[in-house]
Structure 1
Amino acid sequence: MFLKNHFHLFRLLFVLLSIPGAGAAEVAQRPYWHSSMVHKAWTKQDGAPTAVYGITQDQHGMLWFAANDGVYRFDGARFERLNAIDGNKLRSSNTNAILANGSALWIGYSFGGVSVYDQGTVRHYGAEDGLSIRTVYQLVRSRDGTMWVSTGDGLYWLDGQRWRFVDVKDGLGLGNVHYFTALPDGSILADHPTGIYRNTPGGHQFRKVAGGKGIEIHHLLPNGDTLLVDEQRRFTRYAALTGILTPLQFPFGAKPIDPFLDDRGAVWVNTDAGLVLLGPDMRPMRTFSGLNNLSGKQVYNTLNDREGNLWLTTENGVDRIRESRLTAIQLPERMSRAMTIQPDQDGTVWISNHKTNGDYDVDTFGMKPNGAHVDSPLSNITASLRAPDGSLWFGNGKFVWHRVHDEWRAWPLPDSFGGQDVQDFAVDSGGRLWASLVRNGAHVFQNGQWQRGGGIEALTKLTPVSLYADPKGPVWFGYTANRLSVLSGGALREYGAKDGLEVGNVASITSYKGQLLVSGDQGVAKLQGQRFMPLLDADGQPLNGASRLVITTGGELWLHGADGLMRVAATELAAGLASRHLRIDRFDNLDGYKGQPSQVRPLSVLAEAADGRLWYATSASVGWVDPANIARNSLAPTAQVTSLRTDQRLHDARPEMVLPQHTSNLELDFTAAILSIPERVRFRYRLIGQEQTWRDAGNRRAAFYTNLGPGNYRFEVQAANEDGVWSVTPAALSFSIEPAFVQTVWFKLLCGVLALALAALLYWRRMIWVTARITDRLRERLRERERIARALHDNFLQSVQALMMQFDLIKHGLPPEHPVQQRIDRALDTAEDVLREGREQVLALRLNHELTGDLDSALAGLGNILAPRYGVRFVLLEKGVRRPLRSSAAAEAYAIGREALLNALRHAQCKEVTVELRHARTGFSLQVRDTGCGMNAEVYERGHRPGHFGLTGMRERAHDAGGTLEIRSAAGKGTAITLRLPTRRAYGRKAADKLPSTPN
């Protein structure tokens, strides 16, 4: 039977208002196809599935195909064959039915069973759940949310977690149910070997609504009606509301061969000659044949996606048919080569082609707005112009024609022109027609008479490539090799490369709000002042190959170049000209553009018609685009992160992934379902944790990162469709890379501790070494002091003692009255002072305790030895908890204390000298005080005795030790000299930390 052959599922949708019962509800959701469409086929070589029996579109716009070798996913650019979804394997790779329902994907298998994949989870249904083990043909969700499945042994519906079989008691007998559909009222319409059956909305009791064997359901219409076909290929319309069956007759007695209908209400007929689209009048409207033929001969399934594209599956692959933004018209078969168009003010567009040697001579014809053709006396047109008054001028190598108010008038070209073609026209502000003639320069035609160069001899030397008459009066002449001239007020001015003109051959000239624009095969430029400035696109690239410039009545700039049409919106034109960077909308082969405009002659290949449509002509086609109604894709694409690849393995994209240690290189794959023009998709992405700014990926669907460290990351990606509509929210994938032990914070802290310990050890060893060196040096100094002290005692002081004894013998040898006696006594007194001073120095050397810091012992020894010599009582007081002083601090304190003690013993004339040592947490102090006569007022005022440096030396020592020296003295009350050292300078850090908070 017809329906049993390869499980053909002919999706039919048809709107015929003439059939009884049809109404407004039957109007297609999208307008009917226009004549210009783009077809593309994918086959096995492109990775497409073959013999697909199921096709669906998910909530993200992705297409899914059920094939006998697995499930395929398609984003518009690449097919992916999947044996697992989100890491969950298919029960079998032999799939037959598929349905996207919300976030869930339902899959039916050829050998029975259904699987439901939903956001990383899977639920398998089989015989244990009440489901048939026979082939699953279709999965359908009714309007009340019930899931239905047709199988080789009947119809099933899902009741909670268990499938229920529709058996005889439900009104449906045993038998194979291939096709069924959900009606708008919530009921199900199913085919059966004995007829067509329908259940009650929301119920499971079926009744027969159409009899006869071999009847198939093809498709649900927008109003809820269904088309049926029987074995004799007779089509019947079943009205869902009334239950009426109405035969459907194709006009002209044509019987469809493998027909199907789409959601626009269009009838398609697949024949050996190709795929034919029938228009609303059931006449052939478009045939896809030759290179445009389908991937196969049998249409297995169809789908209208949410962007308005029609998808077909065949035995060899997948096909897509979509509307183009440019609408090409049907041309006579022999019309080709360089074509030209010229719209009339009544809406007629005159279409010509330039004859070349060996071409057929095709007459120029006019096309009315309703598509009707109008004859003309023209042929082989080489130049045309719509004058400011609305009349048309045409020319070739023989005649010049003028069309005014539907009337034609012709003038033959003079023989002196040698049969050369008219190249371009312009009408100046005075109404004169300027014409450029090949090899004859520029001429003026007025009142049937020709004037060479318009009276200017220089204009006859070279033939202008293009002409333009400015409404303000000047006439511009464009030449080859960056040459341009302007005639204004009878004077001719020339421009060239020296003036910044770098467009190559000047093919088109126009003006926008008084600003001159020129284009050529090497670029587009504007005249700014007396220099030309190049115009670029938004990426800074030149606009090459622009054969024609047009400023529309809506204020838009259109360019016709070698790669198609370019548009600059009116809202952006002024700003773009000011910045010299134009934001361009491009219309190329992806929009239905074929061929290219003339690159040699300035033919009229772009012009605006009276109804606002912009007509274009190329070497292969003539068409139009309506600037006010350009089809736009307003659907924001949904980006998806599909997988993550490391050096070790491929991971499916799952939330909160944890990657193993030492992962440093990543490849993240992403996509977005953009089905109409996927070639223009754009992506941008970023990896938070590594960067914050977006990276532009163009149409690349992968991101690469290297040298990543451990941590938490979030990859985000957005997509933009062909019209620059970006994703509302970015797709995100969060993952983390586990750190190795050497990458953890603990390891870094341990390394830090070890580094500090090593540094401390090195410092400790260094300090031991330095201390040993200092100790050795101090011991050497101590030994040197001791040696000096011995030398002074054993030699110098003994020598002085011996000398004094000799003088004493000399004195006793002289008479008592001898005058030398007094001089000898004075000398002996001086020697006694020197001897005493020497003994004190020897004592100071002997009592120096710099190495130990034992300051109290040193001062006690010094005071107890010296005080009795001067008949003074010595007292040493110590307060606070004793701590060892720094060796340097002890040395300076001892020197200051010794000097102060000696001064008190020698000069104070006191009975008692007290030395007080005070240890406190705030510091150390040494005080030497006496009860004597006090300092001389002059000395106290000056701070030192002239010629003596004892007090000055004490101050310098106190400063070097980091402390202060205070001297207090009063006549008759004695003197007190106090040294104060801060804690850190006196004890060092460790000793200072051990001091009590308050002194004892």
Structure 2
Amino acid sequence: MRGRVRLLRAWLAALLAVGLPGAGIASRPASAASSSEASYGLRLWQTDDGLPRNSVQAVAQDADGFLWVGTQRGLVRFDGVRFVPVAAQGDFHEALARHPVRALQVTRDGHLLVALDGGGLWQRRAAGAFVRLALAADPEAAFVRTVLETRDGTMWAGTAAGLFRRTAAGWRRIRMHDGGRPSVFAIGTDGADRVWVGLQAGLARVAEDGESLQIVVGSAAHGPVTSVAEDPAGRLWAASRDGLLRVDRAGEVPRVIAVGPRERVRLLHVGADGQVWLGTDTGIRQLRDDERWVTPTGLAGVEAIALALGEDREQNLWVGTNAGLYRVRAGQFRTVATADGLPRGVALAVREDRAGAMWVGTWGGGLVRLGEGAPRTFSTADGLPDARVFALLEDRRGTLWAGTDAGLARLDAGRVRLVPAPGTPAPLRVRLVAEDRVGTLWVGTMQGLFRRDEDRLVPVPLPGVAPGTPVRAVVEDRRRRLWVCAGESVFRADDRERRQVRRLHAVGSTIHAAWLDHRDVLWLGTAAGLVRIDDTGAFAFTPAHGLAIEEVVALAGDDADRLWLSTKRGLVRTSRSGLDAVASGRGAPLVLATYGARDGMLSTEGTSEASPGAWRRGNGELWFATTRGVVVVPPSTGEPARVPPPIVLEEVLVDGRAVAVAGEVRIPPGSRTLEVRYTAPSFAAPEKVRFRHRLDDFAPTWADAGDRRVATYTNVPPGRYTFQVMARNEEGVWSESPAGLRVAVAPRFVQTPLFAGLCLLGLAGAAWGTYAVRMRQMLARLRAVKAERNRMAREIHDTLLQGVAGIGFQLEAARHRLHRDPDGAAQVLDRVSAHVDSCLGDARRSVRNMRSAWLDGQPLAAALAESGRLLATGKVHLEVHEHDWPAALERDLEDQIFRVAQQAIANAISHANASRIDVTLIGAPRALRVAVADDGCGMAEAAGGDDRPRFGFIGMRERARQLAARLHVDSTPGRGTRVELIVPLGLAGRVRRAWHRRHPAIEPAATRMGA
């Protein structure tokens, strides 16, 4: 091996000594980009943008489109807009905090491998957890520098302790033929699926048995091989400290290509387009087919140490450096500038001649012809009246006309001649030269409109236009009508002699340029935007239509029916059919594609006051004049992007709390806010990605979210929904299919069918209850009326009738004594009079349901004795006995007992012909006993023997029932009657109150009684 190294050193020394072409060319500085070279756009992200550290050492893109970025102190996920730190936990969190990320690899099954320099190899599982992969017990095996998965799925890891291959049994170390353990820096494969390894000692290859390493090139003199890759031509490239090793085929002596004496090659990358890139200590370089290393146009700003190179699906090159993360994107356009032959940077007018050469009028640099061979410049030394060329025209005879600030010049056969303009006080400041179908030349100047007549310029007046109004456009349509644009006005001459020029429209802002399409629709670029004119009138597009641009200075149409606008802020492309639809009032807002510096424009500012400022070549290219050269748009520009933006649902929050996104998202009852966060990893133009979303059955129409990456819904009713979101890239291409999320909003109990059913049952029950209550109230009222009737009947029977009966007895007694004892009869009549007053009082009290007058001022026993003696009139002996009777009772209870006993006494006097009546009142702790016994004739039945109503007996039973008392009637014909009332003291009051609640008092009603 040492001999091979000495041979390589000697070969390299000889190569550099004789100055072979490869070495000499490589040592020259990079040349400027020619008109055929692509330019590149740069963008830089640093810690202020969300990176954990500016030193980016690894990049990789996963299956969802996210870019994973590893730094010296952290790992983040990038979607083009936001850097999201990895939520590391446990051992991986500690390892990530102590060790830098050295390499990243996404496996075929979607797992992310993270190689930490000193922290081992880790695998990110689907759930986001990180698991360490144990390579070996050797501590140096924790210094993982590179990791690779080959096409057959085999995993390889390069460490300071050697090369490891993953097998079914675990990780297996691959040793050198001599048994050594080399320090590995890089792993790569070739087209034959052979594994190449960059070592400290050179470039090696895994043997066919897969168990050992074979040194192919020893490069100890150049330092370690830090990167290995194969280009589409089958050439294997290996980067080392001093340059590259190229291996054309196995066994060939490698050829060494030196980059330069001051640059160290750290990395190389072969892009999907076959382009070979180098990362050095001073930036990035590109390998050309002639084996020259150049710094492409636009990449001179990368002045940092390249630490990582990678490429995404959109063919953006990512460069990790010690100064941050760079995105390198090939511009869709190229710019023809001073390096390509323009004498000055500011281009004014562009036009193609019939030979296919392009003519460019410049500001101060004259006129230049770009065609086969070297550029040809015409200046004032060649006869141009001024070096500022604002207008160009090639007429039907092939003569080139150039308008300058000092007049109109004619180029014919290489000679330049000035066209005279007699009668003008100063040289004409020409801004436009046009030719109609009959060959008449029209010249628009800052002083007005002129027509060429026999090699002289004749002024053409425009009605209503002030002198000195600049003329910016003259075009002829298919009907041979001549359109003239001056200031803010549009004129048209319909006659073939062009003698009648009339004003048609005033667009409200200065007209910069005009373009007529094949349908005779005139498009105007103005200081306020875009105006469309056809036979129906003029239509000005506004930001409400989706065209939020100003200062349109040039227009051109391409072969795909699209309109290109050159503005002061870049190029804008949109569909002409979309513009037509908006102008007719039936179209949706316009979809615009905007282009700027990232697409290869050295300047985004288009130049005005020149014609034509835009030109479509015969090969389909579009040329636009800018303040830094001419921007060339290839015919394929604007084709739909190959990679539509993928949609990823990141997080779901319910009332601010994160919930799991996997499967169906279940939202608990009572939640108010549903928030879905999503993104679309896209890196070509992430700031131009637009979104739309909807929630089926709640917000079923697509809602335009703009660039917002969150959807918020409030007060979503219970049910099952599907959330859908789509993304659109900068070219207007939507995602192939929406990303969906099933959402189930759980109802509160009051929102469930069970609750609704219970409510229906409750309503039915309430209705039935209301009906039942109403019926019970009606029934209670009827019962109350009946009870009142019965009460009145009882009261009349117990008071008024008995009183009247007593009066009758007394009057009968007075009649018998009237002749024989007038004084006694008078006393009887006095008692009758007093009794009449008492009866009247009882009648009034009965109507008012008040207490009997007998009980006023005397106990129950005395009241019974007095009322009984009044009824007896001396014929019946009445005695009242009292045993332990309470001194005071409830008034209602005492009144009811009095009425029952009084009725029993009255029955004995009136119906039993009794001569003796005994009333016994017995008090006890639990009950009261009232007994009325007589020695009369008795009754056949306890309730009476005939069918006539016996209101006295009925009243006694009803009063007993009200008192919850027991009424016993014991009667034997010929042996008297005993009536006993037993009133339980503990229950009587409660029952009586309950009875009164069921039978509320009502107004007294008239009661009709039978005889």
Classify the TM-score, shorter chain.
0.5 to 0.7
- Matching of residue 243 in structure 1 with residue 251 in structure 2: yes
What one-letter code is carried by the residue in structure 2 that aligns with 1:69? R
Q: How many residues align?
A: 741
Deviation at 1:683, TM superposition (A): 1.8
Deviation at 1:175, TM superposition (A): 3.3
Deviation at 1:313, TM superposition (A): 0.3
Deviation at 1:299, TM superposition (A): 0.4
**Secondary structure, counterpart of 2:142 in structure 1:** coil
* Structure 2 Cα separation of the partners of residues 622 and 208 of structure 1: 52
**Secondary structure, counterpart of 1:684 in structure 2:** strand
- Specify the alignment match of 2:59 in structure 1: 55
Deviation at 1:480, TM superposition (A): 1.8
1:539-938 to structure 2, matched below 5 A, reads 539=545, 541=547, 544-551=550-557, 556-569=562-575, 585-589=592-596, 590-593=598-601, 595=603, 601-628=609-636, 630=638, 632-651=640-659, 653-660=661-668, 662-688=670-696, 690-709=698-717, 712-736=720-744, 746=754, 749=757, 753-754=761-762, 756-773=764-781
1:144-293 to structure 2, matched below 5 A, reads 144-160=152-168, 162-167=170-175, 173-201=180-208, 203-213=210-220, 214-221=223-230, 222-231=232-241, 233-239=242-248, 241-249=249-257, 260=268, 262-263=270-271, 264-266=273-275, 277=286, 279-281=288-290, 293=301
- Specify the alignment match of 2:401 in structure 1: 393
- Specify the alignment match of 1:65 in structure 2: 69
Relative to structure 1, the CA distance from residue 420 to residue 212 in structure 2 (aligned partners, 3 Å threshold; closer, same or farther) is: closer
* Structure 1 Cα separation of the partners of residues 371 and 56 of structure 2: 44
Identity of aligned residues (%): 24
- Matching of residue 98 in structure 1 with residue 104 in structure 2: yes
Contact 1:483–1:506 at 8 Å: present in 2 too?
no
Quick one: which of 352, 357, 363 aligns to 1:348? Answer: 357
- Matching of residue 366 in structure 1 with residue 374 in structure 2: no
Deviation at 1:247, TM superposition (A): 1.5
* Structure 1 Cα separation of the partners of residues 564 and 412 of structure 2: 27
* Structure 2 Cα separation of the partners of residues 88 and 352 of structure 1: 63
Quick one: which of 317, 326, 331 aligns to 1:324? Answer: 331
- 1:817-874 CA-to-partner distances (Å, cap 9, x unmatched) read xxxxxxxxxxxxxxxxxxxxxxxxxxxxxxxxxxxxxxxxxxxxxxxxxxxxxxxxxx
Q: Which has the larger radius of gyration?
A: 2
Relative to structure 1, the CA distance from residue 181 to residue 727 in structure 2 (aligned partners, 3 Å threshold; closer, same or farther) is: same
Relative to structure 1, the CA distance from residue 108 to residue 782 in structure 2 (aligned partners, 3 Å threshold; closer, same or farther) is: same
- Matching of residue 521 in structure 1 with residue 531 in structure 2: no
Deviation at 1:609, TM superposition (A): 2.1
* Structure 1 Cα separation of the partners of residues 467 and 121 of structure 2: 83
What one-letter code is carried by the residue in structure 2 that aligns with 1:179? A
What one-letter code is carried by the residue in structure 2 that aligns with 1:70? G
Deviation at 1:570, TM superposition (A): 6.9
* Structure 2 Cα separation of the partners of residues 62 and 293 of structure 1: 26
Contact 2:639–2:731 at 8 Å: present in 1 too?
no
- Specify the alignment match of 1:512 in structure 2: 518
Contact 1:712–1:737 at 8 Å: present in 2 too?
yes
- 1:671-700 CA-to-partner distances (Å, cap 9, x unmatched) read 122111112212222334644333222221
Relative to structure 1, the CA distance from residue 707 to residue 479 in structure 2 (aligned partners, 3 Å threshold; closer, same or farther) is: same
What one-letter code is carried by the residue in structure 2 that aligns with 1:466? R
- Specify the alignment match of 1:302 in structure 2: 309
**Secondary structure, counterpart of 2:678 in structure 1:** strand
Relative to structure 1, the CA distance from residue 78 to residue 34 in structure 2 (aligned partners, 3 Å threshold; closer, same or farther) is: farther
**Secondary structure, counterpart of 1:546 in structure 2:** coil
Q: TM-score, normalising length from structure 1?
A: 0.66
- 1:141-192 CA-to-partner distances (Å, cap 9, x unmatched) read 1232111111221111112252122245x65512321212233333321133
* Structure 2 Cα separation of the partners of residues 424 and 177 of structure 1: 68
- 1:588-616 CA-to-partner distances (Å, cap 9, x unmatched) read 32534464556762442111223321100
Structure 2: gaps spanning 5 or more residues: 1-20, 23-34, 793-1011
1:969-980 to structure 2, matched below 5 A, reads none
Deviation at 1:305, TM superposition (A): 1.6
Contact 1:217–1:226 at 8 Å: present in 2 too?
no
* Structure 2 Cα separation of the partners of residues 273 and 54 of structure 1: 18
> Structure 1 stretch 429-438 or stretch 599-608: which is displaced more?
599-608
1:115-126 to structure 2, matched below 5 A, reads 115-120=122-127, 122=129, 124-126=131-133
* Structure 1 Cα separation of the partners of residues 498 and 723 of structure 2: 68
- 1:560-604 CA-to-partner distances (Å, cap 9, x unmatched) read 233433445577677677668595643332534464556762442
Contact 1:138–1:151 at 8 Å: present in 2 too?
yes
- 1:756-805 CA-to-partner distances (Å, cap 9, x unmatched) read 54554344323322443466679999999xxxxxxxxxxxxxxxxxxxxx
* Structure 1 Cα separation of the partners of residues 338 and 553 of structure 2: 22
Relative to structure 1, the CA distance from residue 684 to residue 601 in structure 2 (aligned partners, 3 Å threshold; closer, same or farther) is: same
**Secondary structure, counterpart of 2:389 in structure 1:** coil
Relative to structure 1, the CA distance from residue 182 to residue 128 in structure 2 (aligned partners, 3 Å threshold; closer, same or farther) is: closer
Relative to structure 1, the CA distance from residue 195 to residue 181 in structure 2 (aligned partners, 3 Å threshold; closer, same or farther) is: same
Relative to structure 1, the CA distance from residue 656 to residue 774 in structure 2 (aligned partners, 3 Å threshold; closer, same or farther) is: same
* Structure 2 Cα separation of the partners of residues 473 and 250 of structure 1: 65
What one-letter code is carried by the residue in structure 2 that aligns with 1:92? L
- Specify the alignment match of 1:74 in structure 2: 78
Contact 2:39–2:298 at 8 Å: present in 1 too?
no
Relative to structure 1, the CA distance from residue 577 to residue 98 in structure 2 (aligned partners, 3 Å threshold; closer, same or farther) is: same
* Structure 1 Cα separation of the partners of residues 433 and 506 of structure 2: 26
1:491-510 to structure 2, matched below 5 A, reads 491-495=499-503, 499=505, 501-505=507-511, 507-508=513-514, 510=516
Relative to structure 1, the CA distance from residue 473 to residue 690 in structure 2 (aligned partners, 3 Å threshold; closer, same or farther) is: closer
Quick one: which of 536, 540, 552 aligns to 1:534? Answer: 540
Relative to structure 1, the CA distance from residue 202 to residue 386 in structure 2 (aligned partners, 3 Å threshold; closer, same or farther) is: farther
What one-letter code is carried by the residue in structure 2 that aligns with 1:514? D
**Secondary structure, counterpart of 2:500 in structure 1:** strand
Relative to structure 1, the CA distance from residue 131 to residue 404 in structure 2 (aligned partners, 3 Å threshold; closer, same or farther) is: farther
**Secondary structure, counterpart of 2:701 in structure 1:** coil
Deviation at 1:749, TM superposition (A): 5.0
**Secondary structure, counterpart of 1:166 in structure 2:** strand
* Structure 2 Cα separation of the partners of residues 509 and 255 of structure 1: 52
Alignment root-mean-square deviation, CA: 4.1
Contact 1:76–1:678 at 8 Å: present in 2 too?
yes
